[in-house]
């Protein structure tokens, strides 16, 4: 058998496990058929998955993720709800940041995931864990539906998780909840008042109004979902966060989905096993057991699991260990096969008479969640004609190493909500690297789609007219913030589009509404001159910010293709 395997190019020793496909091939060589048996793991875990007994099902708290555009008040809302936990119940207590917390209201308990935004939601879903029962979409009443609002809607839709809308910042003078309701209706979130089925709550995290109504609405939505669990079973659920604690070893925050978790029980969690030595709740208190729908920290695992990993409690420690060993072996085999496949691809590319077209990308984005989302959409695209390979991705702005990587590997750089410095732009030009910027995933995917169809050469949609640096700030009554700026490159022109960039990340995309040299209003200011400028509807300008003045130009041929 080893010889046959070797002749097939599979180098293994007698102690090594081979995957099903390889086993199938080698068996065929000997004229045998093979059949897939359930793995030990399946047998052990399934053995305790007894039939669902409807009489034993109890309602469990809903698990809620808060999403929405940056600065619309996700963190503020989470904080204010957390604070209410302390005032209602545990006097003098301080909640611990363990990744999730639950609050008790007169009508029921709700568990909130403590990391707002898409990042946690998407990365867990990416790992196959559907933890969230409901998404609370936060939209600022004085702003509107923004790119990340739309992304949050799309994430929720893709995950098939119901959305409840919290219109925040109702205390602000410019609050216009009707506008938000109208805009969201365009994205299939139709309010109950309009004949739809989406619950809208009007809140202010600052003035602390509407919070109880929001919690009530969440529970109302939960009732519709009929979230039930059997507390009598062995516990199972998912990891939300994990870390290595210098004193206590691996610590994982888990969310119990089914059953009751108890001290002393054997557990398998991802690749690791162990025995529950300590259970700590979100108030930092040691507890002996925990029911479905609640988050806790556990101590006692042999290694640090990953967020999104599943855990199960087992009857015996031996079984737990066995499963963990089996999984570790499987994951090693997977790593090995990954490596050899990459080499194979290279081989094909070099040997094939016909050149295999491949699109290599480097993706830099402001938040990790965007990368995950782009990744997912690209994986779907990759099934078409051309292979898409993301050779590197990361959060933060585009830097020198990205450009050199792109140059050596002939990759395209994609900046999502980030912009590089002038120095990097020059390097890009010199190295003749293709670099594109987006702030909406749809546009990015669409461009790549077009590119795949004919691998059309680079099409630039925007032209940067000039770049300025903010050197001083003046706040003028009735006028807002004026940025005393120095033009580093090109020129800035009144009425044109501008972007405010801080540490490489786009903070706002707006219009240059006023431009002055000394006391005079001017139309434009050119390189090496100073000016005072202000941005339409945006005052959060800081010294050191970069202002980019740009034009967008439609290049017709590419669209006609």
Residue 366 or residue 402: which is nearer to ligand GDP going by CB?
A: 366
Find the binding residues for ligand GDP in span 106-135 (CB under 6 A).
Answer: 116
Task: Report residue 364 as tokens.
Answer: 């830099």
Select the residue interacting with ligand GDP from 65, 149, 204, 230 (CB under 6 A): 204
Select the residue interacting with ligand GDP from 70, 283, 333, 407 (CB under 6 A): 70
Q: How far is the CB of 437 from ligand GDP (least distance, A)?
A: 22
Q: How far is the CB of 116 from ligand GDP (least distance, A)?
A: 6
Q: CB of 492 within 8 A of CB of 524?
A: yes
Q: CB of 234 within 8 A of CB of 48?
A: yes
Going from the C-alpha of 30 to that of each of 5, 19, 36, 262, 426, the distances in angstroms are 11, 17, 17, 50, 62
- The footprint of ligand GDP on this chain (CB under 6 A) covers a number of residues equal to 16
Please identify, among the stretches 44-52, 73-81, 306-314, 396-404, the one whose residues bind ligand GDP according to the rule CB under 6 A: 73-81
Give residues with Cβ within 8 angstroms of 319, minimum separation 6: 44, 266
Does position 169 interact with ligand GDP (CB under 6 A)? The reply is yes
Going from the C-alpha of 474 to that of each of 459, 481, 490, 534, 546, the distances in angstroms are 39, 6, 24, 10, 16
Task: Report residue 425 as tokens.
Answer: 């732009």
Q: CB of 449 within 8 A of CB of 457?
A: no
Q: How far is the CB of 170 from ligand GDP (least distance, A)?
A: 7
Q: Which DSSP symbol is given to 491?
A: E
Q: How far is the CB of 336 from ligand GDP (least distance, A)?
A: 42
Please identify, among the stretches 4-12, 72-80, 181-189, 407-415, the one whose residues bind ligand GDP according to the rule CB under 6 A: 72-80
Residue 133 or residue 143: which is nearer to ligand GDP going by CB?
A: 143
Q: How far is the CB of 202 from ligand GDP (least distance, A)?
A: 10
Q: How far is the CB of 295 from ligand GDP (least distance, A)?
A: 20
Question: In 3D, which of 257, 307, 261, 305 has the Cα closest to residue 280?
Answer: 261
Does position 63 interact with ligand GDP (CB under 6 A)? The reply is no
Radius of gyration of the chain (CA): 28
Residue 211 or residue 313: which is nearer to ligand GDP going by CB?
A: 211
Does position 252 interact with ligand GDP (CB under 6 A)? The reply is no
Does position 172 interact with ligand GDP (CB under 6 A)? The reply is yes
For residue 209, the SS3 value is: strand
Pairing of strands 63-68, 134-140: parallel
Q: How far is the CB of 499 from ligand GDP (least distance, A)?
A: 19
- Exposed, middle or buried by CB within 10 Å (0-12, 13-18, 19+), for 307? buried
Q: How far is the CB of 209 from ligand GDP (least distance, A)?
A: 8
Q: Which DSSP symbol is given to 39?
A: P
Burial 366-382 (b: 16+ CB within 10 A, else e): bbbbbbbbbbebbeeeb
> CA angle 172-135-151, nearest 5°?
80
Does position 99 interact with ligand GDP (CB under 6 A)? The reply is no
Does position 213 interact with ligand GDP (CB under 6 A)? The reply is no
Widest distance between CA atoms in the chain: 91
Does position 168 interact with ligand GDP (CB under 6 A)? The reply is yes
Residue 78 or residue 549: which is nearer to ligand GDP going by CB?
A: 78
Please identify, among the stretches 30-38, 149-157, 163-171, 543-551, the one whose residues bind ligand GDP according to the rule CB under 6 A: 163-171
Q: How far is the CB of 115 from ligand GDP (least distance, A)?
A: 10
Select the residue interacting with ligand GDP from 26, 64, 72, 255 (CB under 6 A): 72
Binding stretches for ligand GDP (CB under 6 A): 68, 70-76, 116, 168-169, 171-172, 204-206
């Amino acid at each position: 058998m080893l010889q046959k395997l070797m002749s097939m190019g599979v180098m293994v020793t007698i102690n090594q496990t081979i995957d099903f496909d390889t086993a199938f091939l080698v068996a065929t060589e000997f004229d045998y058929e093979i059949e897939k048996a359930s793995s030990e793991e399946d047998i052990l875990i399934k053995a305790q998955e007894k039939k669902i007994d409807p009489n034993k099902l109890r309602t469990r708290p809903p698990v809620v993720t808060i999403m929405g555009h940056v600065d619309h008040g996700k963190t503020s809302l989470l904080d204010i709800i957390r604070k209410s936990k302390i005032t209602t119940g545990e006097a003098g207590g301080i909640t611990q940041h363990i990744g999730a917390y639950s609050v008790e209201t007169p009508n029921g308990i709700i568990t909130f995931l403590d990391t707002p935004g898409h990042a946690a939601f998407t990365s867990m879903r990416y790992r196959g864990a559907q933890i969230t029962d409901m998404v609370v979409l936060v939209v600022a009443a004085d702003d509107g539906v923004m790119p990340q609002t739309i992304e949050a809607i799309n994430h929720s839709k893709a995950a098939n998780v119901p959305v409840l809308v919290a219109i925040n910042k109702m205390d602000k003078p410019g609050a216009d909840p009707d506008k938000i309701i109208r805009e969201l209706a365009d994205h299939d979130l139709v309010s109950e008042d309009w004949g739809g089925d989406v619950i809208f709550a009007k809140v202010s995290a600052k003035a602390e109004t509407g919070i109880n109504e929001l919690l009530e609405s969440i529970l109302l939505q939960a009732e519709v979902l009929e979230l039930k669990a059997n507390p009598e079973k062995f516990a199972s659920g998912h990891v939300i966060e994990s870390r290595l604690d210098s004193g206590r070893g691996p610590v994982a925050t888990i969310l119990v989905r089914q059953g009751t978790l108890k001290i002393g029980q054997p557990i398998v969690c991802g690749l690791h096993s162990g025995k529950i030595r300590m259970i700590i709740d979100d108030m930092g208190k040691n507890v002996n057991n925990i029911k479905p729908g609640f988050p806790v920290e556990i101590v006692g695992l042999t290694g640090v699991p990953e967020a999104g990993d599943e855990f199960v409690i087992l009857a015996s420690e031996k079984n737990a260990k066995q499963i963990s060993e089996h999984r570790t072996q499987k994951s090693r085999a997977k790593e090995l096969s990954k490596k050899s496949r990459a080499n194979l691809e290279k081989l094909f590319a070099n040997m094939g008479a016909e050149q295999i077209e491949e699109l290599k990308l480097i993706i830099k984005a402001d938040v990790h969640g965007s990368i995950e989302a782009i990744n997912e959409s690209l994986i779907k695209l990759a099934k078409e004609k051309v292979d898409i390979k993301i050779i590197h991705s990361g959060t933060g702005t585009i830097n020198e190493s990205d450009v050199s990587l792109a140059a050596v590997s002939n990759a395209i750089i994609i900046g999502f909500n980030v912009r590089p410095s002038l120095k990097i732009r020059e390097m890009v030009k010199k190295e003749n690297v293709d670099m594109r910027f987006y702030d909406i995933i749809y546009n990015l995917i669409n461009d790549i789609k077009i590119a795949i169809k004919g691998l059309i050469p680079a099409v630039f949609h925007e032209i940067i007219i000039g770049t300025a640096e903010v050197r001083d700030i003046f706040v003028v009554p009735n006028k807002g913030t004026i940025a005393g700026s120095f033009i580093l490159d090109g020129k800035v022109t009144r009425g044109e589009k501008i972007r405010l960039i801080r540490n490489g990340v786009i903070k706002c995309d707006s219009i240059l509404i006023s431009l002055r040299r000394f006391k005079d209003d001017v139309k434009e200011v050119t390189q090496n001159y100073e000016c005072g400028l202000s941005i339409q509807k945006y005052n959060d300008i800081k010294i050191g910010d970069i202002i980019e003045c740009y034009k967008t130009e439609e290049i017709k041929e590419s669209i006609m293709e």
